[in-house]
Amino acid sequence: MLDIVGKRGWYFLISALVIIPGLISMIASPGWISGGSGLKAGIDFTSGSVMNVSFANPDIDEEDIQARMSELGHDEALIQRIGGNTFFIRTVVLKEAIGDDISEREKIERGLDEFLGLERDRVEFDTVSPIVAEETVKTAFYALIAASVFIMFFVWYAFRRVPKAHRYGVSAILALVHDLLIILGIFSILGRVINLEVNSMFIVGLLIVAGYSVNDTIVVFDRIRENVSRHPDRELAPMVNLSIMESMGRSLNTSITTLVVLLAMLFIGGTSIRELLLVLAIGAVSGTYSSIFIASQYLVMWDRGEVGRFFRRGPAATASSLLHLIGIGR
C-alpha cells in the first residue's frame, strides 16, 4: 500500500507553493492597506462608463460590437441591446483627453464608427455606479465565516463517537480555507499576468466551492471514522492511510466526473461564463486534493503533536522540522 501519510510535509509544501505567491500577490496590491482586495475588480464592482449607441445597419449584433470593443482594448465591455439597433455598453471609467491624446470615449466612437457605422449624433455617454454593491461582497464574506463555524460544530457532532472529534471539524474548515485561498491566490496572480478580472460570478463560484469542499472532505473523513471505530486500539496515521487508499477510487471518480462536465463547458461553452467555470474547476481539483492531502494529513499531524512543535520552535528548528516532515531530514 502506498504510504501517503508518511509524505505529509510535501503536500503542505505543494499547497504553500501556490498559496504563498498568491498571498504575496494579494498583499502587494497597492489598494491592500486601504481595504482593496488584491484582486483585479471587474466592472461589476467598480464605477464605470456607459454609452448608448445606435447603428445604421440593423444586422449588427452584440457579438460584432464585443469583437470591436476587444480590439479597442475593452475586453470588459458588457453589451446589451435595448431595442432596435440601439445598444447599451458598460465599460470601465473611460479616460479623459490628456494633452494631444484624444479621450477614450472619442477613440471608441471613432473605432465603432469606422467598422460598424455608428450614428454619432445619437451617442449618449455618462458614468454609472457599480452593479454589485460592496454590501453583497461583505455579505458573502460574513456568511462564509458564519457557515464555517456552524459546519465545524456539525462535524464535531457528527464525529462525536470517535476520539477528539473537534479535530475533524477544525481540519475540515482548514481544508475549506485552503481551497478558498488557492482560488483567491490564483486569480490574484492571473489578474497580474493576464489581466483576469473578477466579477460577481467569482463570488458565486467561491460560495459554491465552499459548499463542495466541505462535502468532499466529510466523505473522506467518514472512512476514517469507520476505520477508527473498527480498530480503536490502532494508531491514527495508518488508519488515515488505509482510509485514503480505500476511498481513493471514489475521490478520483467523483472529481473526474465533475471536472468532465466543467471542462466540457469551459472549452465548448460560451465565453461569458468561463470565469465561473474556472473557479469551479479549480475548486473541484483543490477540494479533492485538500480532503486527502490537507484535512486528513492535518489530523495526523495534530495527533502526533507536530503542529504545536512546528510553531513552538525557533526559525532554525522550524526549518529542520519542515525538512523532517518532507522526509529529507530523517
Residues 300-319 that bind another protein (CB under 8 A): none
Question: Which one-letter DSSP state was computed for residue 37?
Answer: -
Binding piece for another protein, criterion CB under 8 A, among 12-20, 62-70, 182-190, 293-301: 62-70
Q: Which of 288, 228, 241, 242 is nearest to 262 (CA)?
A: 288
Residue 34 as a binder of another protein (CB under 8 A): the answer is no
Q: Which letter, b or e, does each residue of 170-179 get, where b requires 16 or more Cβ atoms within 10 Å of its Cβ?
A: bbbbbbbbbb
Q: Are the CB atoms for 206 and 279 separated by under 8 Å?
A: yes
Residue 1 as a binder of another protein (CB under 8 A): the answer is no
The contacts of residue 40 (CB under 8 Å, 6+ apart) are 188, 191, 192, 195, 196, 197, 198
Residue 70 as a binder of another protein (CB under 8 A): the answer is no
Among 69, 151, 175, 181, binds another protein (CB under 8 A): 151
Q: Which of 94, 93, 61, 67 is nearest to 80 (CA)?
A: 61
Q: Are the CB atoms for 123 and 53 separated by under 8 Å?
A: yes
Residue 115 as a binder of another protein (CB under 8 A): the answer is no
Binding piece for another protein, criterion CB under 8 A, among 10-18, 180-188, 201-209, 236-244: 201-209
Beta bridge mates, 90:
50, 78
Residue 267 as a binder of another protein (CB under 8 A): the answer is yes
Site for another protein (CB under 8 A): how many residues?
82
Site string for another protein, 213-252 (x = CB under 8 A): -xxxxxx--xx-xx-------------------xx-xx--
Q: Which of 140, 199, 174 is nearest to 19 (CA)?
A: 174
Residue 93 as a binder of another protein (CB under 8 A): the answer is no
Residue 322 as a binder of another protein (CB under 8 A): the answer is no
Q: Which is nearer to another protein, 260 or 319 (CB)?
A: 260
> To the nearest whole angstrom, how small is the minimum distance from the Cβ of residue 215 to another protein?
4
How far apart are the C-alpha atoms of 327 and 9, rounded to whole Å? Answer: 7
> To the nearest whole angstrom, how small is the minimum distance from the Cβ of residue 244 to another protein?
14
The H or E element spanning position 90 is: strand 86-92
> To the nearest whole angstrom, how small is the minimum distance from the Cβ of residue 36 to another protein?
20
> To the nearest whole angstrom, how small is the minimum distance from the Cβ of residue 119 to another protein?
16
Residue 167 as a binder of another protein (CB under 8 A): the answer is no
